[in-house]
Structure 1
Amino acid sequence: MTTRKIDFYFDFISPYSYLAATQMPAFAAEHGVEADWLPLNLPRLMKLSGNTSPAAVKNKAIYSLRDLKRWSLFLNVPFRMIRPGTFDSRPALRIAGALQGDERKTFCMDVFDALWSGEVDAKRSNWLEEIAEKRSFSDDWMGLTSEEFEANTHAALNAGAFGVPSLVLHADKGRDELFFGVDHMALISRAIRGQGDIIYR
């Protein structure tokens, strides 16, 4: 039986990516899939795809904040909103891009959790260093740098993505399917179990 794979595209500035990240390890284990954590440049992806930020539309911004709070309660995870544009995620994305496998996943989960739980203040210029001090980062990680996240941005765009979290299920017979948002993880589950139809692009 072929092991299915999921490409999990994210950016640390995305609160919905954080919510999805809290679920990915258990989701992958439950469904027997390999999850490839792929950092990307969300502002760049949105520009390339013609998308706009929820913060640019007043009612959408109000709704999104309420929705995020609902989801954090539903998933039982801590959440503290960070105002859009507060911090630059690229230093952390560069480290994530240079790591591989479980090291990348561990790093990303620590960054997501520390940022969006309110453990560290993203307005501080040294927020990433503060996370490193609080979490079990390897000393070597903080010196790593990679521009892989820029290539991932274009790969996500080519897969049809316009925002994050975007998840691409590599289904049987080489046919891939894009799912957007933490609220679509249930549909991925159905697709993996063969209970839902895959709508191919």
Structure 2
Amino acid sequence: MKHIIFHLDFVSPYAWLAFERLPEVLEGFSYSVEYRPVLLGALLKQHGNPGPAGIAPKRAWTYRHAAWLGHSQGVPLAMPARHPFNPLPLLRQALACSRDGSINRFVAGTVFRHVWQGGQDALDAERLTQLAAELEPQLQPEDPDSADGARAKALLRGNTDAAAARGVFGVPALEVDGKVFWGYDSLPMLRAYFEGDAWFEQGWDAAASVAQGLPG
């Protein structure tokens, strides 16, 4: 049985799409999934990447594309009232339900739906209170010597640093056997890997070994 580490940030529509479609894409295979929230903004900053929302025409295209994918593939997706937004409250709320940095599928799905269904403001105070009530049965007790969500904050930093060290530069990123499959459109490639496609024996490394053609 293969084990997948699913690096995610709730601010990403493609992470939501991948979360919903993964069970269908890998139907018939035996695997486990470890959902790990990371701070996308920190990963982008590390590589000097403004992200899709940092380029106005790309921002418009990204939202159209994500909405189309949801529409065409039967995944409910409505852009939130404001985007991008600061996902830290959501990431920390999710990780308050964790002891080791991973969250279960119920927690991940609850927060994703909060953002990507209904077209509302993801950071609306009343909605955040409702979300907290939904997640309350999943909460892990705080350590006696910590306060103000210190454990969740530390878990988020640890997840993000560990993801960067593994070569993760964006989300969704699905890691299996040390290979990182980035983006929603990598799901067919991930399935091919599970199917034992012989290309991965040499093609994976060969494709990435091409010489750099621009000055360093």
Query: Secondary structure at the residue paired with 2:125?
Result: coil
2:104 is matched with which residue? 104
Q: Which amino acid aligns with 2:199?
A: D
State the TM-score, normalized to the length of structure 2: 0.77
Q: Following the alignment from structure 2 to structure 1, what is the Cα–Cα distance between the partners of residues 55 and 44?
A: 15
2:7 and 2:172 in contact (8 A); partners too: yes
Pairs within 5 Å for 1:56-95: 56-82=54-80, 83-86=82-85, 88-95=86-93
- The answer to whether 1:150 aligns with 2:148 is no
Distance in 2, matches of 1:18 and 1:130, equals 20
Given the alignment, which residue of 165, 172, 197 partners 1:165?
A: 172
Q: 1:187 to 1:73 in 2, by over 3 A?
A: same
Q: Does 1:184 align with 2:182?
A: no
SS at match of 2:192: helix
What does the per-residue CA deviation read over 1:36-90, in whole Å, with 9 as the maximum and x for residues that have no partner?
101001111111122212112122112111210121023201111123243x322
Aligned to 1:173: none
Structure 1 unmatched runs, 5+: 171-175
Assess, with a 3 A threshold, how the Cα gap between structure 1 residues 92 and 57 changes in structure 2: closer, same or farther. Answer: closer
| Equivalent position SS for 1:73 | helix
CA deviation vs aligned residue, 1:109-139 (integer Å, no higher than 9, x gap) = 0110122012753241243222344x4x344
| Aligned-residue RMSD, C-alpha | 2.6
Letter aligned with residue 64 of structure 1:
T
Residue 29 and residue 148 in structure 1: after superposition, are their counterparts in 2 closer, same or farther (change >3 A)? Answer: farther
If you compute each CA radius of gyration, which structure gives the higher value, 1 or 2?
2
- In 2, Cα distance between equivalents of 1:68 and 1:119: 13
For normalisation by structure 1, the TM-score amounts to: 0.82
